Amino acid sequence: MAKVTREMVERSGVNVDKLVELLVKNAAAELTTFYYYTILRVNLIGLQGEGLKEIAETARIEDRNHFEALVPRIYELGGSLPNSMKEFHDMSACPPANLPDSPNDVEGILKILVEAERCAVRGYTQICNMTAGKDHRTYDLALSILHEEIEHESWFSEFLGEGPSGHFLRRGETSPFVSKFLR
């Protein structure tokens, strides 16, 4: 634990225990989403599904990156991850992104993907709201993740016919916002 780091956050008025719990829950959401997205991506096949595979893969890898980026902050603040993977799964901040009953239902998969991203956008917005002007490092991390989650939402939303995302696929490396926390 980074003792003075935690003390500074506590002094700013943030309930650090609750913040850490939220970070752990969101780390669980990221890692479980990485797992569920693997299954969703595998099932994005055929004329409709193939076109979605690349953004699903990018979102999958970036969600894993988010997990990797969150873990050091959890420990810096005095938190820890549970020993049990099942416990970790069940404490996720977002529901499981299960494959639809019909694995060929591409629109159904898209709806699950977009809802998962929307859950993440809500979660990191909450963490940003809690930490803005108080816990600068967690805020920076949560905001960086939020940037990427918003892009994921807009990609999937575009395919659902909800309007243009306004941007293009990733060029080059994944996690343009979060990569600074992965060095």
Partner 1 sequence: MKIFTKEELSYFNGENGKPSYIAFEGKVYDVTKSFLWMGGKHQALHRAGEDLTDALKDAPHGSEFIKRFPMVGVLKD
Residues that bind partner 1 (CB under 8 A): 18, 21-22, 25, 90-96, 121-123, 125-126, 129
* Shortest CB 32 distance to partner 1, Å: 11
In the complex, minimum distance from the CB of residue 183 to partner 1, in angstroms, rounded to a whole number: 29
- Output 7 or 90, the one with its CB closest to partner 1: 90
Contact 114, 151 (CB under 8 A): no
Alpha carbon separation from 20 to 9, 77, 118, 181 (Å, rounded): 11, 7, 21, 17
The type of residue at 78 is G
State which residue, 13 or 95, has the beta carbon closest to partner 1. 95
Q: Indicate the residue among 58 and 144 with the shorter CB distance to partner 1.
A: 144
175 three-state secondary structure: coil
CB of 104 to partner 1, least distance (A): 25
Nearer to partner 1, 32 or 154 (CB): 32
Query: Residue 45 gets which letter from DSSP?
Result: -
The helix-helix angle for 106-131 and 16-42 (nearest 10°) equals 160
Nearest approach in angstroms of CB 135 to partner 1 is 15
**Residue 59 phi, psi dihedral angles, 5° rounding:** -65, -40
